[in-house]
Amino acid sequence: MGMFSESVDVLCSPEGQPVSLTWGGRSYDVCAEPMRWYERRQWWAEDSRAPLGSGPGIVDHEIWRVQVLPAPDGAAGSNATEEPLTLDLSRHIRSGRWRLLRIHDALRPRTA
Amino acid sequence: MSFTHLHVSTAFSAHYGVSWPDELAQAAAADGATALACTDRDGLYGTIKHLKACMAAGLDPIVGVDLAVLDDDGDHRTQVAGRVVVLARGHNNGAGYRALCRLISDAHARTTGKAGGAVPVALTRAELASRTLDPHTLKPVLTVLIGPDSDVGRAMGGRRYLRPRTLFKQWLDAMPGGTVVAEIVSQLSAPGSPLSTAHAVRMLRLAEEHHVPAILTNAVRYCAADGAPTADVLDSARTLKSLPELASEPLLQPTGQGWLKSADQMLLLGKEIIAAAGYGAADLKQLMTQTEALADLCRIDPASDMGWKQPVVPEAAVLGISQEPHQELVERCNAGIGRRFPGISGAAEKSMVSRLEHELGIIRNLGFSSYFLTVAEVSRMIQDMGVRAAARGSGASSLVNYLIDVSHVNPLQHDLIFERFLSQDRATLPDIDIDVESAERHNVYRRIFERFGSERVTLMSMQNGYRARGAVRDAGMALGMDDGEVGEIAKQLWRFSARKFREALQEKPELREFAGRVEQRDADGNQQLDLLVDLTERLDRLPRHISMHPCGVILGDATLLDRTPVQPSGLGLPMSQFDKHDMDPMGMLKLDVLGVRMQSAMAFAVREIIRIHPSKDEVVAAGRHSAGSDGSGPDYIADNGHIDLNAVPLDDEPTYELIRSTHTLGCFQIESPGQRELIGKMAPREFNDLIIDISLFRPGPMKSDMVRPFLEHRHGFAPEVYPHPDLKPVLAETHGVTVFHEQILRTFDVMTGCGLAKADEFRRALSSEEGEAGVEEYFRRKAKAKGYSADVVDKVWDTLKSFASFGFCKAHGAAFAVPTYQSAWLKTHHPEAFLAGLWEHDPGMYPKRLLVAEARRLGIPILPLDINLSKAEYRVERIQSGPDAGKLGIRLSLNGIYGLSTTELKRIIGGQPYESLADLRARSKISKPNIKRLAQLGAFDSLHREAGGTANRADLVHHLQKLQASGGSRKGVEVLEGQLSLPLGDVELRNITPELPAPTLVENVRAELDLMAVDVSTHLMDSHRPLLDRLGVTTADKLLGLRNGTEVLVAGVRVATQTPPMRGGRRVVFISIDDGTGCVDSVFFHEAQEKAGMLLFGTRLLLIRGTTRRTGPRGISLSASMAWDLSRTETLPFPDPAAREQDVPHPLDGISRSLAITGFNG
């Protein structure tokens, strides 16, 4: 398992669930029901203000654990043979920005 | 679909909950809820506010508590296994609520009531089980929620399957059937961590397995997500750890999801948990239905379950009454007439009797006769104890109170209106406050408990909320900031609400430096100060803890402890968890027994007078009292010299002369700088003037400029103006200016014919905007109908509108004016005894040292500490020899010397007199450092002189220091036993070798300030005299001779700092300094504050430049333009720069006791 914090672009369903994402120039589709939870932020170190009425998202951020497969790029579908990647994404509630936090299944890749 | 939150902490869960009951209730109602629970931690602190909020929002209240449960297997008294929520079932005539109250009292029963006790607020499971069934019906009346913070929930972590099961099973075995439910909570934290969905699933399965109902809550700590950071800071304040520390443990809540989620959000949450458990739609429905079913069981009917608004007083039998209470009250009033109105007849009698009948009629209709009898009983009991007691407040408006000896103010004489106190339209129990000697207050409390029985009495509590200083300290701690740095910031925060911190940064000159640092953050990357401001604002007003209210005692019948939980107070007596706002809703009779130090000081003075002058003749001579009718002196002085202060006539001219001189330091209510200025302008001539003076000196009148027109009319500078001739009788005593509530009531009555009871309702209604509109409409319509012109109506309405909210109740003023007069009378006639009483009981606003300076100003000798002559209290003493022979002086007390313990003090007094130091050591066994301290203060000087020693105080101190260093830890005897019995005088003292120079006056004064916080040998400013001369400073005694508008420099030690609210809302700072010749009162307006900046609140010794403002024939004050710190000579404005070089030692150098010396902890 690797730990990162890298910006990613995520497309969500109307209910707010991630559907697909773009990371490192490649597109991926979410291929299984994602899991969602919240994790604490070190807000006292990361933020410079926390006035009353700031709203949600100071204390925690949203974490989504998604399984993704590379999006089929046009005609050739090598898709079926690939195993899904498990990623933890964080969504900063106030800015809506997504970052990639962790990549699981670190056993898998390396050959390509 | 609606959802009922069954686990909600309000802000009254100190250092835990974030939101106020009304915020929560409104949010719940807005979301369509029909009920809402309040389950504060450890008590019902927010419950009554919750009831009120629910009723206002149209919700059914649910009440409960969040309590710790002791570990059955651990140390039974201290080890907590977890926390559970306990809800009271409703609609059972209070059986549930009763059980809840008793349960909470049980949980507190073993605690000490002191902070940091080793025993936590907690119950054993057996205790909890025993309260869940109603003792009479044996039906369940409480429901226990086993949730994530219970021992079961806490055991969910890791992969332990057996442990939570075993623990859950233990609960089921211990609790009666039908009293336990499983509380399912997910705050959506990371899988497997506390408050995660995974844990919620395990709890749900456990419930399923054991066929226990499961309910869904969100363990709410704040109304909206925005409250989460505040909850973090509260966690830090509660655990005394910074946020970074807490985060690493990890002890903070895992997420910020604990808000009052909407019904939709709760349903989604339920879905998520059910789905994760692999259950289906039917299970979801069951979870939600069971939650609502429990909610329905627990809906409380405020009236039938909790006795909402139903007054309860002690049973007649307890009061010793065998007949119907009202009949008893009538008889006691009739009996009082002969005592209070001897020889009354004719029209006076008729009007008195009709007033009495009027009052009794209202009391009977309201059913309050027992209440009056109860108060009378307490009042009688206190007076039987020989303790000075007087009713204060609007209770003085009642003739009944006067006749049954609850109050000592004749309401007829002062035109006081009963309706201001109680009326048909006002069915709440009225307030009667009784002032007693402060030194006797706790004894009075204990007597009340004995008299009525501990099941009928409890002390009232009060909520202590965050104010700016505490908030900034705790916010700073949360951020892990340096203590010293936060302390420096906190020092500058002076009397404003924490909520306005950021605003204050812009405005307040003393915060300018800090504001600059906040803005700097971008430059040096320090974000903390900016966050500090935000977090401080978040903490504003949140309750921190409850404590014993300074005066409230709750009296009830034998069911009192079924209606309020109690916990130990610091005093050892039980204290209710309810505060003053909860009394009226809960129908509780609260008596305010206020400890008034001035009453103690006056009682002390009267005792000293007898001790020094043990006969009537001597007292009359010493006090220069009038010869009285038969030449033997006035009747209020008994043959043994005892003065009955309450009987002293209120027209003593020398007393009014003293008051007019403005030398009123030490006098009740009229000693503050502002009051001295006001009495200087007003020049009171009679008792009613004192009532008016006290009533005028209130924030409202001062702010709205009532004072100036009043004074102009009083002194005839401007003609009196009445809006209409009809109002002249109402307003004449205050020259046309509306001052008293009573005048507002009469104005309403005169112009609308509404009656006084209605008038008082109107007066109350005027304090709110909605109320005001209704009153205005009525007033205009009725006044017009009575023929008053539009012009008059407009004018009077303006007055009513602006003065009604803050005018002062004349009955209060009259009750206050009595001790004001009495204290001034004592100061006039027996200043030595009076000052001794003031030093002993310290009743005023100033540091004690200022009253010592006042004695010096009055030429009263201050007699030094003496090991044989000083006692445990200040004493008046006739001086035997020397230049002051024959005069009365005040001997310093051995009490209050830094380091000297109460036991040592007792032993010293018990062993007096002493022949020698050895004798003192042997019999009093005081510690060596304390012997040295006594020597530094000169307590052995006379012993030393008698011994014929030639050494000085410095040699003696040096000698004792040597002994202290060499002598090891042994206390007491250092000389051979045999020596004690020989009358040899003090060999030790005689043989000390003189070698050191005698201590300077400055050194002696420094020791006095350091050890007693009082400068005795000489005024602490005296050593500054040469410096002040070089600066060209004017002394206080010379100011009165200067013309108005003269620019002067004054200097002295700070004695008072005040920021009263002023007209126009701009802050004005009053600083008074004492320079040894008197007080200089200076006022800093906006510009001067800007210039003085941090000096305003940060310095003890001040040099102030300003111009004189004449405030009356005998009053003068200073309008300041600039201030300097006198101890920083390099900054002072010397006319001759060369003069600044000479630096002299000063008594305050190196002394840190600022509060005791300057009355200000800046």
Helix, strand, coil percentages (3-state) for chain B, rounded to 5, are 50, 15, 40
Among the partner residues A35, A52, A59, nearest to B232 by beta-carbon distance:
A59
* CA B712 to mean position of chain CA atoms: 36
Burial profile B222-243: b = 16 or more Cβ within 10 angstroms, e = fewer = bbbbbbbbbbbbbbbbeeebbb
* Residue B10 is assigned to a structural domain of this protein: no
Nearest-Cα distance to chain B for A112, in Å, is 32
* pLDDT at residue B703 in the model: 66
The partner residues of B593 in beta bridges, in order of sequence, read B434
Domain that holds residue A7: 2-103
Same domain, B726 and B812: yes
In this predicted structure, the answer to whether residue B189 has a pLDDT above a threshold of 50 is yes
Rounded Cα distance, B161 and B152, in Å: 11
Task: Tell whether A92 lies on the interface with B, counting CB pairs under 8 A.
Answer: no
* Residue B485 is assigned to a structural domain of this protein: yes
Q: What percent of chain B has pLDDT over 70?
A: 95
The partner residues of B391 in beta bridges, in order of sequence, read B434
* pLDDT at residue B1063 in the model: 56
Please state, as a whole number, how many other Cβ atoms lie within 10 Å of the Cβ of residue B320. 9
* pLDDT at residue B985 in the model: 58
Distant-in-sequence, close-in-space partners of B872: CB < 8 Å, separation ≥ 6: B893, B894, B895, B905, B906, B909
* Residue A70 is assigned to a structural domain of this protein: yes
Test B190 with A60 for CB contact under 8 angstroms.
no
Test B244 with A42 for CB contact under 8 angstroms.
yes
Of the candidates B719, B769, B761, the one whose C-alpha atom is nearest the C-alpha of residue B744 is: B761
Q: What pTM did the predictor assign?
A: 0.82
Q: Which of B306, B338, B372 is the last residue of a domain?
A: B306
> How is residue A53 written in tokens?
């009425």
Test B197 with A45 for CB contact under 8 angstroms.
no
Q: What angle do CA B75, B80, B81 make, to 5 degrees?
A: 105
* Residue B253 is assigned to a structural domain of this protein: no
* Residue A112 is assigned to a structural domain of this protein: no
**Do B756 and B745 touch, CB atoms closer than 8 A?**
yes
Among the partner residues B224, B254, B521, nearest to A40 by beta-carbon distance:
B254
Distant-in-sequence, close-in-space partners of B634: CB < 8 Å, separation ≥ 6: B620, B625, B626, B628, B648, B649
Q: Is B1059 exposed, middle or buried (0-12, 13-18, 19+ CB in 10 A)?
A: middle
B981 pLDDT band, cuts 50/70/90, is very low
Give A-chain residues touching B497 at CB under 8 angstroms.
Answer: none
In this predicted structure, the answer to whether residue B350 has a pLDDT above a threshold of 60 is yes
* pLDDT at residue B969 in the model: 46
Q: What is the pLDDT of residues A19-33, one digit of tens each?
A: 999 988 899 999 999
* CA B599 to mean position of chain CA atoms: 18
Residue of B nearest to A58 (CA): B229
Q: What is the pLDDT of residues B289-327, one digit of tens each?
A: 999 999 999 999 999 999 999 889 899 889 989 999 999
Rounded Cα distance, B439 and B441, in Å: 6
ipTM: 0.89
* pLDDT at residue A4 in the model: 57
Higher pLDDT, B1058 or B967: B1058
* Residue A80 is assigned to a structural domain of this protein: yes
B211 pLDDT band, cuts 50/70/90, is very high
Task: Tell whether A35 lies on the interface with B, counting CB pairs under 8 A.
Answer: yes
> How is residue B32 written in tokens?
């369509």
Same domain, B51 and B154: yes
Residue of B nearest to A40 (CA): B255
E strands, B1067-1160, are 1069-1074, 1079-1084, 1101-1112, 1115-1125
Q: Given phi > 0 = left and psi -120 to 50 = alpha, else beta, which region is B794?
A: alpha
CA dihedral B612, B616, B619, B625 (to 10 degrees): 170
A111 pLDDT band, cuts 50/70/90, is very low
Residue of A nearest to B525 (CA): A48
* pLDDT at residue A112 in the model: 38
Test A40 with B534 for CB contact under 8 angstroms.
no
Nearest-Cα distance to chain A for B536, in Å, is 10
Same domain, B570 and B626: no
- Mean pLDDT along residues B649-665: 93
* pLDDT at residue B522 in the model: 55
Residue B1089 dihedral angles phi and psi, to the nearest 5°: -65, -40
In this predicted structure, the answer to whether residue B44 has a pLDDT above a threshold of 90 is yes
A1 pLDDT band, cuts 50/70/90, is very low
* Residue A25 is assigned to a structural domain of this protein: yes
Test A52 with B537 for CB contact under 8 angstroms.
yes
Q: Which of B288, B306, B324 is the last residue of a domain?
A: B306
CATH value at residue B534:
1.10.10
**Do B492 and B1094 touch, CB atoms closer than 8 A?**
yes
Give B-chain residues touching A50 at CB under 8 angstroms.
Answer: 229, 531, 534-535, 538
Give residue for tokens 């005024």. B1019
Of the candidates A4, A5, A15, A16, the one whose C-alpha atom is nearest the C-alpha of residue A96 is: A16
Q: Which of B271, B306, B341 is the last residue of a domain?
A: B306
Q: Tally the domains of chain A.
A: 1
Please state, as a whole number, how many other Cβ atoms lie within 10 Å of the Cβ of residue A74. 6
Same domain, B56 and B143: yes
Same domain, B511 and B586: no
B1115 pLDDT band, cuts 50/70/90, is confident
Q: Is the peptide bond before B250 cis (omega within 30 degrees of 0)?
A: yes
Among the partner residues B196, B226, B254, nearest to A55 by beta-carbon distance:
B226
* Residue A108 is assigned to a structural domain of this protein: no
Q: What is the pLDDT of residues B702-725, one digit of tens each?
A: 766 778 888 888 888 888 889 999
Test A39 with B537 for CB contact under 8 angstroms.
no
In this predicted structure, the answer to whether residue A109 has a pLDDT above a threshold of 50 is no
* Residue A111 is assigned to a structural domain of this protein: no
Rounded Cα distance, B67 and B41, in Å: 6
DSSP string covering A70-105? EPP-SS--GGGGSPPEEEEEEE-TTT--EEEEEE--
Test B226 with A48 for CB contact under 8 angstroms.
no
Nearest-Cα distance to chain A for B1094, in Å, is 26
Among the partner residues B188, B247, B254, nearest to A42 by beta-carbon distance:
B247
* pLDDT at residue B75 in the model: 73
Q: Tally the domains of chain B.
A: 7
In this predicted structure, the answer to whether residue B201 has a pLDDT above a threshold of 90 is yes
Collapsed DSSP state (helix, strand, coil) of residue B510: helix
* Residue B575 is assigned to a structural domain of this protein: yes
Q: What is the pLDDT of residues B852-887, one digit of tens each?
A: 989 998 999 999 999 999 999 999 999 988 889 999
* Residue B841 is assigned to a structural domain of this protein: no
* pLDDT at residue B1140 in the model: 62
Nearest-Cα distance to chain B for A63, in Å, is 8
Same domain, B739 and B628: no
Task: Tell whether A16 lies on the interface with B, counting CB pairs under 8 A.
Answer: no
Nearest-Cα distance to chain B for A16, in Å, is 14
Among the partner residues A37, A44, A56, nearest to B190 by beta-carbon distance:
A37
Least confident of A11-20, B108-117, B471-480: B108-117
Same domain, B337 and B414: yes
Give B-chain residues touching A55 at CB under 8 angstroms.
Answer: 224-226
Q: What percent of chain B has pLDDT over 90?
A: 59
Task: Tell whether A45 lies on the interface with B, counting CB pairs under 8 A.
Answer: yes
Same domain, B929 and B999: yes
Tell me the residues of B at the A interface, defined by beta carbons under 8 Å apart.
Answer: 187-191, 196-197, 224-226, 228-229, 232, 243-244, 247, 250, 252-257, 478-480, 521, 527, 530-531, 534-535, 537-538
* Residue B1053 is assigned to a structural domain of this protein: yes
- Mean pLDDT along residues B589-602: 92
* Residue B863 is assigned to a structural domain of this protein: yes
Give A-chain residues touching B189 at CB under 8 angstroms.
Answer: 37-39
Give B-chain residues touching A52 at CB under 8 angstroms.
Answer: 226, 534, 537-538
Q: What is the pLDDT of residues B923-963, one digit of tens each?
A: 888 888 899 999 999 999 888 888 877 788 888 888 888 87
Give A-chain residues touching B537 at CB under 8 angstroms.
Answer: 51-52
To the nearest 10 degrees (0 to 180), the angle between helices B831-841 and B848-857 is 170
Domain that holds residue B1114: 1022-1158
Distant-in-sequence, close-in-space partners of B1132: CB < 8 Å, separation ≥ 6: B1031, B1103, B1124, B1126, B1140
Test A47 with B531 for CB contact under 8 angstroms.
yes
Give A-chain residues touching B538 at CB under 8 angstroms.
Answer: 50, 52
What mean pLDDT value characterizes chain B? 89
Task: Tell whether A94 lies on the interface with B, counting CB pairs under 8 A.
Answer: no
Same domain, B457 and B503: no
Test A63 with B257 for CB contact under 8 angstroms.
no
Residue of A38, A43, A44, A93 to mutate for B, most B C-beta atoms under 10 A: A44
Q: Given phi > 0 = left and psi -120 to 50 = alpha, else beta, which region is B755?
A: left
Same domain, B732 and B799: yes
The partner residues of B718 in beta bridges, in order of sequence, read none
Same domain, B910 and B926: yes
Among the partner residues A49, A53, A60, nearest to B255 by beta-carbon distance:
A60
Same domain, B66 and B196: yes
> How is residue B678 written in tokens?
């006001």
